Amino acid sequence: MPKKVTEDLNLNTIVSYQFEEAARFLKEPRGLLDQIKECNNVLLVNFPVKFGNRYTYFRGWLAEHSHHRKPLKGGIRFSELVTQDEITALAGLMTYKCAIVDVPFGGSKGGVCLNPRSFSEQELERITRRYTAELIRKNAIGPGVNVPAPDMGTSEREMAWVFDTYDAFHPGGIDNAACVTGKPVSQGGIARRREATGRGVAYGLKQVFEHPEDIKALGLNHALAGTRISIQGFGNVGYHCARILQEEHDCRIVSVAEWDGTVFSSEGLDIAKLKRHRDRSGSIRNFPGATTLDDPKAALTIDCDVLIPAALENQITLDNARQIKARIVAEAANGPTTPQAEAILTEKGVLVIPDIFLNAGGVTVSYFEWGKNLAHMRFGRMQYRLDELRGRSLVGYLEKELGTKMPEHARRILIHGANEADLVRSGLEQTMANAYEQIRDVFKRHRKVKQMRTAAYLVAIKKIALSYRKLGIFP
């Protein structure tokens, strides 16, 4: 029997490999490339937390990948799979995605090794506050130092605890709210932050379909509307991505997978009803009108036009890459495709839209929240009424000149003043559109660049290298 080919699934090794694949096309000094590639600092924190009469010991990390821009930015992950290598790799990915979408942050990532499902809300609060205190003591968190955000296993709830803990250590700090993003709106958060990563994926995919010649070359002869989509992962990112693609872009979501199985319907799944079913039963399994498959990875190989892995890293590997039927793989998760699997997909003519671009919606809207906290002003507050008055004047003028009443839906659009949610969505869509066009331009111009991921790394590395030069670190 032929010997089975094995893969190195270490995410840090994979990110390093992807970096080098792009770096070989650049004429930058090796020392500068190494500075960009390597993680600057990794903080390890070990701490006990007392629950009743028992003490539980936890291990956490904070990786500071790059200080070419400040503050640093990255999520806090609560998972029993967290390791130093994973946190270091994710910090690097954050550096590159911030550069790609022109967000002025260096990359970072935090994490604590634990299973959130094993602890009560009160226990998680104590863990979060203790971890935050450890970061504060090391001066590793602050509005101008390092600004965390939610990630796997955390949410706006944990971010509120982080903010309150930081605020307690720095009484009277006028910019304290900017120490963390992804907070509840009532605590200085921003509208639509919860859906930001999923919406960014939808906007990025929409931008791909704005180029019919590219879509036709993939063997697809239709617009985004009607596209058959399979999504692995129905957490915050997967759910919002599926909902937005279905409700706003008329896509057909044929399959959704979670940790305990996959549901499939060639006619399409109603995402709102699927979420209600999951919320009631605790599982997506046995959703009425759909087929339930036991394998949570079945969504990866189902017949579809676009596959969106929105769960964990290393999901598309040598074991299943040849069974992928999608023409586009849109990476909503971090590192879902291994390099060997991506080589197979490239050979098959499948377009892989890389994670360092496609899931940058979260950090983009976090940037908006950070700016809002520093400005101490809600976006849209000062111009909402002015926009509305101008809209009413325009509608009145047009109706008078045309001698007819404008349709109600058109009136609402013209009269509506832009509020914070509108501005966040507008800014996110424009950011994703600009970033995609930069990547596509490099991808099309460099004939030797065969993967969009390499083009995305080229865009990022060039921007970071320029930043270091302007700092005077490199001639």
Query: Phi, psi at residue 84, to the nearest 5°?
Result: -65, -40
Report the C-alpha gap between 302 and 263 in whole angstroms. 11
Residue 2 has pLDDT above 60, yes or no: no
What is the average pLDDT across 342-363? 97
What value does the mean pLDDT take over residues 18-43? 96
Nearest to 75 by CA among 188, 152, 190: 152
pLDDT for the residue 472: 86
Q: What is the pLDDT of residue 33?
A: 96
Q: What is the pLDDT of residues 98-107, one digit of tens each?
A: 999 999 999 9
Work out whether the CA dihedral 334, 339, 344, 348 comes out positive or negative: positive
Q: For the chain, how long is the longest CA-to-CA vector?
A: 82
Give the pLDDT band of residue 8 (cuts 50, 70, 90): confident
CB 253 within 8 A of CB 246: yes
Which tokens hold the place of 95? 């550096």
Q: What is the structure's pLDDT at 1?
A: 47
Read off the pLDDT of each residue in 151-163 and give the average, rounded to a whole number. 96
State the average pLDDT over residues 115-134.
97
Kindly report, as residue ranges, where domains of CATH 3.40.50.10860 are found in the chain.
Answer: 40-187
Is 183 in a helix, a strand, or coil? coil
Asked if the 196-358 domain carries CATH number 3.40.50.720, the reply is yes
SS3 label, residue 454: helix
C-alpha 81/C-alpha 32 separation (Å) is: 32
Higher pLDDT, 302 or 7: 302
Continuous segment of H or E residues that includes residue 109: strand 106-113
Q: Indicate if the pLDDT at residue 5 is higher than 80.
A: no
Residue ranges, CATH 3.40.50.720, the chain: 196-358
Distance spanning both ends of the chain, measured CA to CA? 55
Q: 52-61, 340-349, 466-475: which range is least confident on average?
A: 466-475
State what percent of residues in the chain have pLDDT above 90: 85
CATH of domain 40-187: 3.40.50.10860
Question: What does pTM read for this prediction?
Answer: 0.92
Residue 3 pLDDT greater than 60, yes or no = no
pLDDT at residue number 372: 96
Catalytic residues, by residue number, are: 109
| Averaged pLDDT of the chain | 94
DSSP output for 280-299:
HHSSSTT-TTSEEES-TTHH
Question: Which is it for the CA torsion 342, 345, 346, 352, positive or negative?
Answer: negative
What secondary structure does DSSP assign to 59-73, as a single string? EEEEEE---SSSSEE
Q: Hey, is 173 helix, strand or coil?
A: coil
Query: Would the pLDDT of 389 be above 90?
Result: no
**Band (475; pLDDT cuts 50, 70, 90):** low
388 vs 171, residue with greater confidence: 171
**Could you tell me if 308 and 201 are in contact, meaning their C-beta atoms sit under 8 angstroms apart?**
yes
Determine the pLDDT at residue 388: 82
